A and B are shown apart, each in its own frame.
Chain A
Amino acid sequence: MPDLHPWELPRRYDVVVVGGGPAGMAAAVGACEGGAERVLMVDREHEAGGILQQCIHHGFGLHHFKEELTGPGYAQRYLEQVLEHDIDVLTDAYVLDVDASRSVSVLSGRYGRTSVDAGAVVLAMGARERTREAIRIPGTRPSGVMTAGFAQKLVNVAGYLPGKRVAILGSGDIGLIMARRLVLEGVEVVGVFELMPHANGLTRNVVQCLHDFDIPLHLSTTVVRIHGSERVEKVTVAPVDEALRPRMHEAWDVDCDTLLVSIGLIPDNELARTLGVRLDPVTTGPVVSSTMETSRDGIFACGNTVHIHDLVDWVSQESRLAGEGAGAYASGRRQAHDNVRLVPGTNVRSCVPHTITTEREHTVYLRVTQSLAPCTLRLGDVYERPLRYVVPGEMVTVKVRPRFLESFHGGALRVDVVPREEAGRE
């Protein structure tokens, strides 16, 4: 094998970051800021940036860069920081395995199968899309049933169209944004079908992606059958009752050659699983401490690998913290142990991180189960804060400051989000 590479892959890094998407880039930068000198970021794609590279729409960076950017714009901003910090970026490479002693096995066409010893590891593999199979839509298995993300890659990066007449299942932001993208590319979008009684995406996207183009949004409706032996020929859709069961006698057929499935993301945590990291059964991602460290020493995790975010800005913020934690760990600096365990209570589906300390300020990310407006967020009986609204589709971020916890001496702290009146009565 001719040896063409300009540099040999070093055998040891302070921090190895698995994944070069928004989480990985922020973690790599964070690692440098946390004291790591040699940082390696590994990404399986030809270039870093992850899913941002295909999200060509606006809506990124308002919190982080105080400026509204597109996905590629946000990626480029962050990548510049990565390069400024002299981080080694290995693309077209895949992390096969991380073991408990933090030996990282990397596969790449350039360096073959090799392993790198890491002082600390950050898992930032992101998420994968739920598929048609995950919800078992009955019918045939023709071509033309694809995830919205795959269609997005076809259209925005590869320069192909997924079909001529498209139906979309799921009203999350990716589904809504793809509806507009396809219309602007001259593709007919026959409708968006949403199982729940409300749209899952931002109102802005409902208005600007659907209403602007007269694309019908069918709420409380789902796809109950796929037809077509070779290519999709039509889908049958039906309204659902309160228990989300299809009312088949009210079903109707929708002619289309493509069904985009946009029904959510699942943390990609195969590596975390093989490492035996403790997982949260609700988020399905690793359980993490206030520095985003997992249950394995020196193994950190952040971004959609941990829990699904709806704003990349929070991914960056959380991942920076994970990187700093990893950098500090690799430099031998241990941070104070967490003494507070957050327990999801009333109307709280999940909390990340899972533990915090009373010594520092923390951002806690919550998901609620039900929409409420107005309402009150409570941390045990030590802190409460009014909120104008909460919806399941939008993550709630709370800054928890040490002074809130002055009267709290450690242990489990329940997190509730309750209607405003109920909070007032107590």
Chain B
Amino acid sequence: MRFDVAIVGAGVVGCAIARELTRYRLTVALCEREVEVGLGTSKANSGIIHGGHRAPDGTLKAATEWRGNQLWSDMARDLPFGFARIGDLTVAFDDDDVAYLQRLLEQGLRRGVTGLEMWDAERLRREEPNLSEDIVAALHAPSSGVVNPYEACFALAESAVRNGLELRTETTVTGIERGADGFAITTDRGTLHARFVVNAAGVFGDELARMVGAEEAGLRFRKGEEYLLDKRLVGFVTRVTFPCPSPTSKGILVTPTYDGTLMVGPTATWSEADDLTTTAAGAEEVFDGARRLAPGISERDCIAEFAGVRAVAADEDFAIGHTRVPGFLNVIGIQSPGLTAAPAIALDVIDLLAEAGLALEVRDDFVPTIDAPLRFAELDPDEQARAVRGDPRFGRIACRCELVTEGEVLDAIARGARTMDGVKFRTRAGMGRCQGGFCAWRCLRLLASSQDVDVSAITKRGGRSWIALPRRDDHAATEVEHA
């Protein structure tokens, strides 16, 4: 099979590009080394759709941030994922900070960002009573929002697959060769051929470019640790809250996630590409930073933590464009505000592909929407009653912390969840305060029985991440009848 375009890397950028491409009469493949889409950098970040005023002037970041921000509304209209424009605040503790807010406001106004407003301390106190009393002013950006980034990836990929995308998960690209009529892409699961290749390989971006002799971006890796807080603190802070950046740090944020629970972080430390460790020092930095913004936040409320790695190009900007290898495009170095910019990046990549000679013929049978999964916890009591009458599996609780039913877990499996993480990030089962203590066995069983495999074959997220082993004596023994 020869594809018109092969995309390597199914993070939010790769998924967004893939879905845009399926609007045209093209054959498109998306290769992902992980067992499911969106499990790399796209999963492990703050989930902020930035207001559009923040990226430095003259960068690709600035060129895509505000456009991307606006495009998220279109995506959220067609696709089911958690997205809400809850607004953000950048807060000032002294005169220097106030001057910074003023510059940020002017930068936003120049870019056409709407709704920006300076708040004095009194207004801030009224709007966010739990923020520090030491804050003297704040810049409010109502255009800013939060998204569940993994849900966006799942929805984009599901929509693209529905429109004909060939999604190949658990497929690691090991070599790329340019021939007379395109590329031969070698993977651990066979070779595929494509006229164009889009490198959206995240932390593996330079590695992929090197395989085909394209320019690298000098990627380095910056790790960010994030800490999620107990539901008890839902509503404690209602807008994404940024400090002013210091020369050494962008600072620790308090982020109400789409689901309302607070997340604090991230740290920003240089690391290896695969360093997903959280550290005691990181936790200390995060909670000290968070307490500076909102003194009522405490380590004791932590229910989960994670770390994500962002690929950072040598010049700190996105590296998007043609390379010296015709037909091979780089879309790498996508760090913050990459999530915000992703839909704009996808449109820009389509333009770049057209420039490179890809003929774009709009399909008339593109279906922009997918069915929204049922979210039992978000239904009102009458709707819940109707849901259970229609299907009793919605009457059985799988995860009690987040109130997820077996029906929802089975729906997630039907939509492509293969692993415990796949179920967790689609349904929230296991994300709550008991961290899977109650639901893990139920989800394991549902995953095993719907794929007709043994429980011991189910993994957390592919590879060697098995959860339970069969007993050694399970198949060995002779049958002894009970007397």
Interchain nearest-CB distance for B156 vs A (Å): 25
- Interface-centre pick from B304, B393, B403, B468 (highest chain A CB count, 10 A): B468
CB contact under 8 A between A138 and B433, given known A109-B392, A133-B304:
no
Q: Which residues of A contact B440 (CB under 8 A)?
A: 146, 150
* Minimal Cβ-Cβ distance residue in B for A106: B395
A147 to B466, CA, bound (A): 16
Encode contact with A along B408-446: 1 for CB under 8 Å, 0 otherwise. Answer: 000000000000100000000000011111101100000
B372 at the interface (CB under 8 A from A): no
Given contacts A112-B385, A114-B385, contact A229 B299 (CB under 8 A): no
Q: Does B483 contact A (CB under 8 A)?
A: no
The answer for the CA separation of A220 and B77 in the assembled complex, in Å, is: 55
Please, how many angstroms separate the alpha-carbon atoms of A136 and B435 in the complex? 13
Q: Is the CB of B397 within 8 A of A94?
A: yes
Which residues from B are CB-within-8-Å of A92?
A: 396
Q: How far is the CA of A4 from the CA of B434 in the complex (A)?
A: 34
Answer whether residue A345 sits at the interface, using C-beta atoms and an 8 A cutoff.
no
Do A129 and B469 have beta carbons less than 8 Å apart? no
- Given A107-B388, A161-B469: A133 in contact with B302 (beta carbons within 8 A): yes
Q: Are A230 and B463 in contact (CB under 8 A)?
A: yes
**Is B464's beta carbon under 8 Å from chain A?**
yes
Complex partner residue of B277 from A108, A140, A230, CB under 8 angstroms: A140
**Contact mask for chain B residues 434-466; partner A; CB cutoff 8 A; 1 contact, 0 none:** 111110110000000000000110011111111
Q: Which residues 359-382 of A sit at the B interface, judged by CB distance below 8 A?
A: none
Instruction: Tell me whether A139 is interfacial, beta carbon within 8 Å.
Output: yes
Partner of B469, one of A1, A105, A160: A160
A110 and B385 CA atoms in complex are apart in Å by 12
Task: Fill in one digit per residue for B292-308: 1 if any A CB lies within 8 Å of its CB, else 0.
Answer: 00000001001111100
A154 within 8 A of B: yes
B260-300 with Cβ < 8 A to chain A: 274, 276-280, 282-283, 299
State the main secondary structure of chain A at its contact with B.
mixed
CB of B435, distance to nearest CB on chain A (Å): 4
Q: Which residues of chain A (92-112) have a CB below 8 Å from chain B?
A: 92, 94, 96, 105, 107-112
A154 touches B441 (CB 8 A): yes
State the Cβ distance, B474 to closest chain A Cβ, in Å.
7
Task: Bits for A227-268, please: 1 = Cβ < 8 Å to B, else 0.
Answer: 001110000000000000000000000000000000000000
Known pairs A109-B395, A128-B437; A138 contacts B278 (CB<8 A): yes
Chain B min CB distance to A307 (Å): 18
Nearest chain A CB to B35's CB is how many angstroms away?
A: 11
Chain B residue nearest in CB terms to A161: B469
Contact, CB under 8 Å: A231 / B464:
yes
Residue of B384, B459, B474 touching A113 (CB-CB under 8 A): B384
Tell me, yes or no, whether A44 is within 8 Å of chain B by CB. yes
| Measured CA separation A164–B456 after assembly (Å) | 13
Q: Is the CB of A282 closer than 8 A to any CB of chain B?
A: no
> Once the chains are docked, how many angstroms separate the CA of A94 from the CA of B399?
11
Instruction: Output the least CB separation between B299 and chain A (Å).
Output: 7
Q: With an 8 A cutoff between CB atoms, is A286 at the interface? A: no
Question: Bound state CA distance, A139 and B434, in angstroms?
Answer: 19
Q: Are B470 and A1 in touch, CB under 8 angstroms?
A: no
Give the distance in Å from the alpha carbon of A139 to the alpha carbon of B281 in the complex.
Answer: 12
A110 in contact with B277 (CB, 8 Å) = no
Which of A113, A128, A142, A186 contacts B460 (CB under 8 A)? A142
Contact call B433/A44, Cβ cutoff below 8 A: no
Which residues of chain B are within 8 angstroms of A153 by Cβ–Cβ distance? 441
Q: B471 in the interface, Cβ–Cβ < 8 Å?
A: yes
Q: Is A162 an interface residue (CB 8 A)?
A: yes
State in angstroms the CA–CA spacing of A140 and B227 once bound together: 14
Chain B CB within 8 A of A141 CB: yes
A142 touches B465 (CB 8 A): yes
Q: Is the CB of A136 within 8 A of B464?
A: no
- State the CA gap A270–B305 with chains docked (Å): 22
Q: Chain B nearest CB: distance from A147 CB in Å?
A: 5
B324 contacts the other chain (Cβ, under 8 Å)?
A: no
Query: Closest CB-CB distance, B394 to chain A, in whole Å?
Result: 8
Contact A107 B279 (CB under 8 A): no
Residue of B nearest to A186 (CB): B472
Contact check, B468 vs A131: say whether CB atoms are below 8 A apart.
no
Q: Does A424 contact B (CB under 8 A)?
A: no
Give the docked Cα–Cα distance between A139 and B467 (Å).
18
Query: With a CB–CB cut-off of 8 A, which chain A residues contact B227?
Result: 136
A407 within 8 A of B: no
* B381 sits at the interface (CB 8 A): yes
**Residues of A close to B222: CB separation below 8 A:** none
Closest-by-CB residue of B relative to A105 is B381
Decide yes or no whether A185 CB sits under 8 A from chain B: yes
* Interface status of A149 (Cβ within 8 A of chain B): yes
Interface residues of A in 52-87 (CB under 8 A from B): none
- CB-CB < 8 A to B469: which residues of A? 160-164
- Of all chain B residues, the one with the shortest Cβ separation from A114 is B385
A232 and chain B: residue at smallest CB distance: B465
- Bound-state Cα–Cα, A136 to B287, Å: 12
* A186 neighbours in B (Cβ, 8 Å): 472
A-B contact pairs, 9 of them (CB 8 A): A107-B397, A133-B435, A136-B278, A138-B278, A140-B276, A144-B467, A161-B468, A231-B465, A231-B466
Footprint of A on B, CB under 8 Å? 227, 274, 276-280, 282-283, 299, 302-306, 381, 384-385, 388-389, 392-393, 395-397, 400, 403, 420, 433-438, 440-441, 455-456, 459-472, 474
Q: Which 8 pairs across A and B sit closest by C-beta, in order of nearness?
A: A143-B460, A109-B395, A160-B468, A109-B392, A112-B388, A143-B465, A230-B464, A230-B465
A interface residues (Cβ-Cβ under 8 A, vs B): 1, 44, 92, 94, 96, 105, 107-114, 128-129, 131-134, 136, 138-144, 146-147, 149-150, 153-154, 158-164, 185-186, 224-225, 229-231
Given contacts A131-B435, A138-B282, A231-B465, 11 further A-B contacts (CB under 8 A): A1-B389, A109-B393, A112-B388, A113-B385, A133-B303, A136-B278, A136-B283, A138-B279, A141-B306, A143-B420, A230-B460
